Amino acid sequence: MSRLTFGANAALYARLQEIGFEGFVDEQLNDTRIENVALEALAVDAIVNFDQENFWKFSTDVWAIS
């Protein structure tokens, strides 16, 4: 699981149990089915309001979402 994700956690283990190994691998490799609404909103804000201060805030917020 650690090699397919950015690190295993309780939520990922629950998801793995819910959809099975093959489903989990498929979901990780075909991430277009995973909604990125929060990340997309941050990206738009970072592009529209780009400056060095917002860049570092965006970087911190992205890691908080992950």
- The model scores a pTM over 0.85: no
Q: Which two tokens stand for residue 51?
A: 């400056």
More confident residue, 8 or 16: 16
C-alpha distances out from residue 28 to 1, 7, 38, 46, 59, Å: 10, 12, 18, 26, 22
Using pLDDT thresholds of 50, 70 and 90, give the confidence band for residue 65: low
Spatial distance between the Cα atoms of 52 and 35, rounded to a whole number of angstroms? 27
Concatenated DSSP letters for 2-35? TTTSSS--HHHHHHHHHHHHHHHHHHHH-GGGS-
| pLDDT tens column, 35-61 | 777 777 777 777 777 776 666 776 676
